[in-house]
Amino acid sequence: MSASPLTQIPEPTTWNFKLLAQHQLDGFGGMGEGMSISLTKDGRRIIWLAHESAPKNFTGVDVSDPRKPKVVVQTDLPQSHMRSNSLELSGDLMAVAYQTQKTGQKPAGFELFDVSVPEKPRSISFFDCSGATSRGVHQLWFCDGQFVHMAAGAPDFQPSHPLDDQFYRCIDVRNPAKPVEVGRWWIPGTRQGDSTPPPPRHKLDKGYRAHNTNVYAKRPDRLYLAYIDGGMFIVDISDKSKPKPVSHWTNSPPYTGFTHTVMPLFDRNLLIVTDESTENSAKDWPKLVWILDNRDETHPVSIATCPLPPVDAYKDRGGRFGAHNLFENTPVPTAWHSEDIILGTFFNGGLRAYDISNAYQPKEVAAFVPPAPAGTPAGAVQLNDVFVDEREIVYTVDRFTGGLYILEMDF
């Protein structure tokens, strides 16, 4: 690249989005991948955000006026060796994940809260996943008020490899005071004692661990399960006690694993699958958003990936660059739904929206790459997750200090 004064500091980008507000959440702007909205009886709209790491647990922000977000509550984790990172809401019932840094530590599991009075979230119960071989819950999905689907460890699960310590668990919370496990599934071979031999390790070994565990009201008998180095599975959960894989797809090898999210588009028979970039400076490039033809759910076929700017223009900006989270068409009344536009976060690649009306040729239609937020150790923005509410207001969060950005789609 020529030494032109134009290229000294990369310019931020706002294209076909309008930034309405940013809030650094009172100095605790390091956000994870739990974002969901509740509507209070007095007519307010609260977005609940899980923090990426200690000391904060979750923050509730009043976004009734998206131009004037206000923190209404911010809670602390009981221990510094844990993180929440993931939460979901069904009505006023919120499930928050707790994961510890090491196996054996506590508290590890998930907690259920009643957030009908957002200033005073009321703890209802705690589901304990702690144990000598468990770090608790990494990610959970809870949209129907009945079942928490999660990626978690368990005291009675010994992985065959230490990195493979989290698998799929289904917890019945129809009596929220007494959550009870009703089913679980893991990749055969990842548990000590399985007759199947353990799976071969990837070169960049991130583990065979469950990650996103999405279940949608349109197909309550199907689990869309991302399994990090194990790729993705569609699982028949018509009998929750006996989950049965229907199909499997992976891009790795030759890609570098870390399948993160599987989102089905039921009207169009498509699946959107993301990798997660987990290495700074795009060392694990490419990390992409994949489009799969799911007309035959026993045999999904990849047909396209969403385009990104050149890696050399972003990899040295600081932190990670590559795919991670999507707006997942969360099946709740406070979320938008679209099968033509998908939104994803790409760390220092910002937030990008794609028109996939031609599924073979996704087109980027909007991009938001804000400047490095004040105080960030990463050197650049690291947009970590995105949620769109039913008013079509877009919320995205930074992993370190930037907090919450609120935008409108302008395309």
- Residues forming contacts to other proteins in the complex (CB under 8 A) are 4, 6-7, 10-16, 267-270, 293, 295, 309-310, 313, 317, 338-341, 355, 357-361, 363, 365-366, 369, 411
Cβ proximity to other proteins: between 221 and 410 the closer is 410
Provide the minimum distance between the beta carbon of 406 and other proteins in the complex, in angstroms, as a whole number: 19
Cβ proximity to other proteins: between 26 and 410 the closer is 410
Provide the minimum distance between the beta carbon of 358 and other proteins in the complex, in angstroms, as a whole number: 6
* Short-list 35, 59, 42, CA closest to 394: 35
Cα-based distances in Å from 191 to 18, 59, 180, 259, 287: 48, 36, 22, 20, 28
Cβ atoms of 49 and 34 closer than 8 Å: yes
Cβ proximity to other proteins: between 2 and 175 the closer is 2
Neighbouring CB atoms inside 10 A of 193's CB total: 7
Q: Is 353 helix (H, G, I), strand (E, B) or coil?
A: strand
For 52, residues 6+ apart whose C-beta sits below 8 A from its C-beta are 30, 31, 32, 83, 85, 384, 399, 400
Cβ proximity to other proteins: between 184 and 317 the closer is 317
Cβ proximity to other proteins: between 242 and 411 the closer is 411
Provide the minimum distance between the beta carbon of 149 and other proteins in the complex, in angstroms, as a whole number: 26
* Short-list 129, 121, 122, 29, CA closest to 82: 129
* Short-list 176, 105, 100, 188, CA closest to 138: 100
Provide the minimum distance between the beta carbon of 349 and other proteins in the complex, in angstroms, as a whole number: 11
Taking the C-alpha atoms of residue 274 and residue 278, their distance in angstroms, rounded to an integer, is 12
Provide the minimum distance between the beta carbon of 270 and other proteins in the complex, in angstroms, as a whole number: 6
Provide the minimum distance between the beta carbon of 128 and other proteins in the complex, in angstroms, as a whole number: 43
Taking the C-alpha atoms of residue 369 and residue 393, their distance in angstroms, rounded to an integer, is 17
DSSP lists the bridge partners of residue 272 as 263, 291
Cβ atoms of 185 and 132 closer than 8 Å: no
Cβ proximity to other proteins: between 97 and 341 the closer is 341
Cα-based distances in Å from 204 to 32, 134, 211, 252: 23, 22, 17, 10
Taking the C-alpha atoms of residue 84 and residue 48, their distance in angstroms, rounded to an integer, is 12
Cβ proximity to other proteins: between 245 and 309 the closer is 309
Cβ proximity to other proteins: between 19 and 124 the closer is 19
Provide the minimum distance between the beta carbon of 335 and other proteins in the complex, in angstroms, as a whole number: 16
Cα-based distances in Å from 147 to 155, 166, 173, 216, 280: 20, 18, 6, 11, 35
Provide the minimum distance between the beta carbon of 168 and other proteins in the complex, in angstroms, as a whole number: 28
